[in-house]
Amino acid sequence: MSRPEGDSPGENHHDEHDEHDEAAEAFASALLKARGGLRSLVQGVVDLLDEGALFLPLADDIPGAPEGQEVTLEGDLSFRPHMVLDPDEKPYAVAFTEPELAESIESALDWKTSNDELKFVRLPARAVFELALENVEGMPVEGLVVNPGTDSELTLSRDEVRSIAAGSAIPLVGYVEELPEGLEEETQIIEGAEPPPAELLAALTKAKSKIPHLVGYRVDTTFNPERDREPHLTITLHLLRPDSPRGAIADDVMELISPHLPPPSYADIVFRDAPN
C-alpha cells in the first residue's frame, strides 16, 4: 500500500480535490438509488465504479496511512478490515460512503482499530468491490454491505458484486418491490417456453376449487429486463369481485403451489377481474 503522489499547492490541487469529492458524492448517490433494485438503477453504480471511493473500517492500524486520503493497493491485501457475519456465519465486506455513517454499528459491535479509536482507509470503489470477492482465512467473502445499520444500507451478494465489477448491471431482486408505472409494460411473455409442470397446474386447480373468490387462472413464462435476471412464471388469478381479499388469496395460492414451482422457484401473482 502506498501514499498517493503529492500535489503541488495551488489552484490545480483544489480543482482536483473538488473533482474527487464530486465523484465520490455521485457514486454515493448511485449506491443509494440502487436500493430500488432495477437494472437501470444498478447501471449507475457500474458507470461510476471507477470514479467513486469508499471507506473501510480497520481492525488493525496501517502505519503511515494518510488520514482521509485515498490510497492505492500494491499487490495482495496487506491490511485487515472489519467485516460482518450473516446468520450462517459467512463474512461480508463492509464499506461506508462517509465515516460518520459507521457510528451505530461501531457502537453495537464495539469496533476498534488496534484496540484504539476506530480508523478508516479510503480506497477506490473498484478496489473495495474486488476485496468483496477475496477469501478470508480460507472462506470466500460472501458479498459487500455498504453503510450497514443506516437508512442507506445496501447489501450486495457475491454474484451481484462480481457482476458490477465486470461492468454488467443486473437487477437486485431482493430490493425490487414493485415496478414504477410504465415499466410493467416492458414485461414480455416468452413464447415457446417450457409448459408449467402438471403438478403446478393441479395445485392451481385445487386452489380454484377451495377458494370461493377464485374463478380462473392463467400461467405464462415472463421476463422483464428491468426487474428479472431470468424468465420465470407469472400466474394470473381471475377473481369473482373487485373487492375480493387479494392478499389472503395470494397467500393461500402460494402455499399450495410453492412446492411445484420450476426454477428459479418463484412466481409473480397478478390479479384480474373475472372475464364476463
What pLDDT is attached to residue 63? 74
Say whether both 159 and 187 belong to one domain: no
Instruction: Report the half-sphere exposure of 169 (CA within 13 A, side-chain side).
Output: 20
- Do 267 and 204 contact (CB within 8 A), yes or no? no
Domain of residue 42, residue span: 11-165
Q: Where are the alpha helices (DSSP H) in 11-144?
A: 11-33, 39-48, 103-109, 125-131
- Do 23 and 51 contact (CB within 8 A), yes or no? yes
Hey, what's the cell of 274?
Answer: 373475472
Looking at the domain assignment, is residue 6 inside a domain? Answer: no
Phi, psi of 29 (to 5 degrees): -65, -40
Say whether both 139 and 205 belong to one domain: no
What pLDDT is attached to residue 6? 41
E strands, the chain, where?
53-57, 83-85, 91-95, 120-124, 135-136, 139-140, 143-146, 154-157, 188-189, 214-223, 232-239, 267-273
Amino acid at residue number 100: E
Q: How far apart, in whole angstroms, are the C-alpha atoms of residue 231 and residue 229?
A: 7
Amino acid at residue number 249: I
Q: Are strands 232-239 and 214-223 parallel, antiparallel or unpaired?
A: antiparallel
Of the candidates 203, 205, 97, the residue with the CA atom closest to the CA atom of residue 151: 97
Looking at the domain assignment, is residue 173 inside a domain? Answer: no
Looking at the domain assignment, is residue 171 inside a domain? Answer: no
| Burial (Cβ within 10 Å: 0-12, 13-18, ≥19) of residue 27 | buried
Residues 6+ apart with CB under 8 A from 163: 169, 170
Domain end among 165, 195, 219:
165
Q: Are strands 91-95 and 143-146 parallel, antiparallel or unpaired?
A: parallel
What pLDDT is attached to residue 62? 80
Looking at the domain assignment, is residue 36 inside a domain? Answer: yes
What pLDDT is attached to residue 23? 87
- Do 267 and 217 contact (CB within 8 A), yes or no? no
What pLDDT is attached to residue 9? 53
Say whether both 105 and 191 belong to one domain: no
Say whether both 110 and 247 belong to one domain: no
What pLDDT is attached to residue 69? 56
What pLDDT is attached to residue 3? 32
Q: How far is CA 134 from CA 73, 142, 185, 190, in A?
A: 14, 9, 40, 37
Hey, what's the cell of 11?
Answer: 489552484
What pLDDT is attached to residue 17? 56
Residue found under cell 388469478: 237
Across the chain, which has 276 residues, the per-10-residue mean pLDDT values are: 41 57 92 96 97 94 67 60 92 96 95 93 94 85 96 96 97 84 83 95 96 94 93 95 92 96 92 76
Hey, what's the cell of 55?
Answer: 471507506
Phi, psi of 85 (to 5 degrees): -110, 140
Looking at the domain assignment, is residue 178 inside a domain? Answer: no
What pLDDT is attached to residue 149? 94
> How many domains in the chain?
2
- Do 72 and 124 contact (CB within 8 A), yes or no? yes
CATH number for the domain spanning 99: value is 3.40.1350.90
Say whether both 248 and 121 belong to one domain: no
Say whether both 137 and 210 belong to one domain: no
Hey, what's the cell of 25?
Answer: 458524492
Q: How far apart, in whole angstroms, are the C-alpha atoms of residue 59 and residue 81?
A: 5
Hey, what's the cell of 95?
Answer: 464499506
Say whether both 58 and 139 belong to one domain: yes
